[in-house]
Every structure is written in structure tokens, then in C-alpha cells.
């Protein structure tokens, strides 16, 4: 069976072939070249926590408190002093009071007594264990305890989660729901975040029209504009949507130069192949830019340009909507995340089992839109493909659950082979 190679770098696809293969460059090499060009945005701003969801931390966060803030009960039960449980049990002790979460002063525990306590309540002075209510029997104002608890049993000790002064979130961390909860629990009302990454994008092609517009023969509706709008609808991105530009070198150059002045990253679709109307390589050079990657050993998505124009990075995606989507998802999105300074950025991955047989020509890493099937007896998800030719199948892409990664050197996929799968998260 053909097992996918192990991943050693969070950015890379794991499909390294020879760094150069004729005019093609491997996916891994293309990513490395692109990421070497990246200078993360340096400007930062301070935001209230409620406005920072989804943003990227611009400085590390250190804890100004210990968490938990104080010793507290982990369960509903009875706070006890172990010294009062002398000899052999069971022990019968008087319930001298109660303490609930938010009570500010329960006072010390009297000798030979217990306190009724509830989850989250501060541990009264002198108590060193909590007996859960299921292991105690209450009779009037007396409780019977059958088993001696261990020291600190059912007590959350101050500082066991966060230590005062410790760095608990690094630069580049995205503020998702879990991180936001941690910041709030640590009392952080404001955070320093990187400014949004500015991404300008436009589609190239004289044949493109807006959806809903009547089409003349040979014209098509512009799908790539809406793919990029959706892909870039992120809290850490500021988009500059420049629409569509016809296949006229002067107008393409004007649009490209304007975009490079305004944005950190410029993304175009179309015009990057070798046809007479594929103007973007020459336009980038004429504008003073430099191409660092051109033609990648991936399928779909081989016509792909990565370069620099002034201080802006440039990504020229293919015009075919499926190819453009795959090239952006695998390579473009990684570049945008690196520009934003996002730490440990990569698409989610899982291992699946092929539920099909397929012969293929090696030489290019392949990303196939695929559907997840049932689980096998080992708990591994099966995966299915519905067509071998996918670069023009926009409907097939929309129906897929993710991209199946076929390593470049693979000749034959047999039913039962283990492969990597990049699941979509946007439905």
C-alpha cells in the first residue's frame, strides 16, 4: 500500500519531490520560496477584548494573576479539616454553616465541624479537603462521612492553571473562542493585536461578467471573485475588492500597480499561463516586479505565479475556478497567514482510507475534491472520489467534504490505502 509521507513542517504539503522538475517546482519548494519572501505586518493596535475576536496577537500576554484566583471547591459537598477525622470512621460532624460561589467571607471552620460548600466557592481557612455530597449522609445538622478523603481532594488550588507572571499566550496566536475565554478569565480587558493584513484582489479576463448579467456568446460569470471574497472574509484580513479587469495589458498594469501600493498582498486570477492572452507575467515584470515561483507541480493549479512588486507580495492564481480554489487553499492561504503573523498556521488534516482504485501518472502532487464515507472497523473514515478529471468541475468541488492529497510519486492508489485529507470547514 502507498502510505502518505509524514509531515515535518506545518506549512508543507508533505509531497516533496525533486526541488526542480524541468519547468515545474514542487509544492513544498514553492511554499518555502514564498514564505521566505514574507515579512509579517509589523503595525499593532490595542483593542478591547470584545472587539478582538479572530484577530492575531501582536505581543505576548503575561498573566497578571494566578488562576484559579483562590483555592476553591471542585464539587458540591462538605469542606473538612482532616485533623478532625481521627481514628477509624465513619465520622459524624456538625454542619456549622454553608459557603456558596461568590460568598466573600465564610470565616474559619470551627474545630470538629464541617461546612456545606458548593462548586466554585472559596475554601474556608483551615479546610484541606472536600467530601462530595454523594459520599456523605446528612441527618439534621450532622453529616456522616464514611471514607477519609485525601489531602486537597476536590480542591482547585490557586495558581494550578496559570502562574502569576507567566507568558501564557505567544505572539501570533489567533484569538478564537477558547483564547478569548482564557484572556477574560485572566482579567485581560484589552489586547495588542497586529493590524489587519490588507489583501487586494481582482479577476482578469475580458470574458467575465457579474452573476445575473446577461451573457453574450463566449462570456462567463465571474466565479473567482466570489471564491476570494469568501476565502478572505476573515477578522484579520482587510480586503480591497477590485472586481474584474479585461485582458488589456495597460489596464492590467494600472490595476496591479494600484493594488501593490495599497495592499500587503495582491491576488489575481487568470492570465498566468502561456497563451497569447495570458498577460500577467509580462505585466508584473513591466511594473517592476519579480517572479520567484512560476508553474508548480500540482494538479489542479499548475499555472501559479508568486512574486514581489514593491513591498507587496503577489500571487497569480489560475483562471479556472477549481484550480484557483485549490491553489489558494494549499498555497495562497498559507502566505496570507504568514503575512498576518499567525503562529502554527496550516489547514486541518486527517488520515483516511481510500475506498477506490486509481491509476495515475506520477510527477505532480494532486488534490482531489472528495467525499467522506463511513467508518471502517478500525475507526478510520473512508473517502471516495466521484471523478478523475476535476479541474473544471465547480459543482463537484462544492459537493466535496475536502481535498484528498495524492503524493506526487504515487503511481497507483489501491482500495484500502491510507491517505491524507484536508477537510473543508466552511460547509
- pLDDT at position 390 is 62
Distance (Å, rounded) from C-alpha 335 to C-alpha 402?
20
CB hemisphere CA count around 96 (13 angstroms): 15
Distance (Å, rounded) from C-alpha 149 to C-alpha 153?
6
- pLDDT at position 17 is 47
Whether residues 88 and 217 share a domain: the answer is: no
Whether residues 175 and 278 share a domain: the answer is: no
- Final residue belonging to a domain, choices 127, 156, 185: 156
Whether residues 50 and 4 share a domain: the answer is: no
- Final residue belonging to a domain, choices 132, 156, 180: 156
Whether residues 137 and 186 share a domain: the answer is: no
CATH number of the structural domain spanning residue 252? 3.40.980.10
- pLDDT bin (cut points 50, 70, 90) of residue 278 is confident
Whether residues 149 and 292 share a domain: the answer is: no
Whether residues 241 and 279 share a domain: the answer is: yes
Domain count, the chain: 3
pLDDT in tens, 146-188: 999 999 999 999 999 999 999 999 999 999 999 999 999 999 9
- pLDDT bin (cut points 50, 70, 90) of residue 16 is low
Q: Residue 410 — left, alpha, or beta (φ > 0 → left; ψ -120 to 50 → alpha)?
A: beta
Whether residues 318 and 409 share a domain: the answer is: yes
Contacts of 379 (CB under 8 A, 6+ apart): none
Enclosing H/E stretch for 239: strand 237-245
Q: What is the pTM of this model?
A: 0.87
Whether residues 152 and 215 share a domain: the answer is: no
CATH number of the structural domain spanning residue 57? 3.90.105.10
Distance (Å, rounded) from C-alpha 102 to C-alpha 84?
26
From the centroid of its chain, how far is CA 398?
Answer: 21
Whether residues 284 and 417 share a domain: the answer is: yes
With 80 as the cut, is the pLDDT of residue 8 above it?
no
- Final residue belonging to a domain, choices 100, 131, 156: 156
Q: Whole domain around residue 132: which residue ranges? A: 72-156
pLDDT in tens, 184-194: 999 999 999 99
Measured in residues, the chain has a length of 427
Amino acid at each position: 500500500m502507498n502510505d502518505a509521507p509524514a509531515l515535518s513542517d506545518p506549512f508543507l504539503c508533505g509531497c516533496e519531490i525533486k526541488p526542480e522538475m524541468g519547468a515545474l517546482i514542487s509544492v513544498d519548494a514553492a511554499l518555502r520560496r514564498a514564505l521566505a519572501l514574507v515579512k509579517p505586518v509589523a503595525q499593532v493596535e490595542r483593542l478591547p477584548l470584545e472587539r478582538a475576536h479572530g484577530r492575531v496577537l501582536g505581543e505576548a500576554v503575561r498573566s497578571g494573576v494566578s488562576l484559579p484566583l483562590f483555592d476553591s471547591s471542585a464539587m458540591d459537598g462538605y469542606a473538612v479539616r482532616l485533623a478532625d477525622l481521627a481514628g477509624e470512621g465513619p465520622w459524624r460532624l456538625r454542619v456549622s454553616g454553608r459557603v456558596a460561589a461568590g460568598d466573600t467571607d465564610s470565616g474559619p471552620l470551627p474545630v470538629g465541624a464541617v461546612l456545606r460548600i458548593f462548586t466554585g466557592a472559596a475554601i474556608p481557612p483551615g479546610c484541606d479537603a472536600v467530601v462530595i455530597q454523594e459520599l456523605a449522609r446528612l441527618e439534621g445538622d450532622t453529616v456522616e462521612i464514611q471514607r477519609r478523603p485525601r489531602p486537597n481532594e476536590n480542591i482547585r488550588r490557586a495558581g494550578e492553571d496559570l502562574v502569576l507572571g507567566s507568558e501564557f499566550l505567544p505572539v501570533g496566536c489567533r484569538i478564537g473562542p477558547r483564547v478569548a475565554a482564557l484572556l477574560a478569565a485572566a482579567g485581560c480587558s484589552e489586547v495588542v493585536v497586529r493590524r489587519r493584513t490588507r489583501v487586494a484582489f481582482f479577476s482578469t479576463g475580458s470574458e467575465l461578467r457579474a452573476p445575473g448579467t446577461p451573457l453574450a456568446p463566449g462570456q462567463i460569470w465571474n466565479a473567482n471573485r466570489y471564491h476570494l471574497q469568501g476565502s478572505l472574509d476573515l477578522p484579520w484580513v482587510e480586503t480591497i475588492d477590485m472586481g474584474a479587469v479585461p485582458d488589456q495589458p495597460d489596464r492590467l498594469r494600472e490595476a496591479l500597480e494600484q493594488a501593490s501600493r495599497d495592499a500587503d498582498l495582491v491576488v489575481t486570477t487568470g492570465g498566468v499561463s502561456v497563451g497569447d492572452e495570458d498577460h500577467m507575467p509580462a505585466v508584473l515584470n513591466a511594473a517592476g516586479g519579480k517572479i520567484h515561483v512560476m508553474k508548480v507541480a500540482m494538479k489542479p493549479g499548475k499555472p501559479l505565479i508568486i512574486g514581489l512588486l514593491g513591498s507587496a507580495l503577489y500571487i497569480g492564481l489560475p483562471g479556472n475556478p477549481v484550480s484557483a480554489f485549490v491553489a489558494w487553499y494549499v498555497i495562497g492561504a498559507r502566505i496570507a497567514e504568514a503575512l498576518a503573523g499567525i503562529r502554527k498556521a496550516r489547514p486541518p488534516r486527517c488520515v483516511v482510507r481510500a475506498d477506490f482504485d486509481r491509476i495515475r501518472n506520477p510527477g505532480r502532487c494532486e488534490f482531489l475534491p472528495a467525499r467522506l464515507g463511513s467508518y471502517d472497523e478500525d475507526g478510520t473514515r473512508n473517502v471516495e472520489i466521484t471523478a478523475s478529471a476535476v479541474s473544471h468541475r465547480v459543482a463537484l468541488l462544492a459537493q466535496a467534504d475536502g481535498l484528498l492529497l495524492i503524493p506526487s510519486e504515487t503511481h497507483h492508489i489501491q482500495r484500502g490505502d491510507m491517505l491524507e485529507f484536508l477537510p473543508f470547514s466552511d460547509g
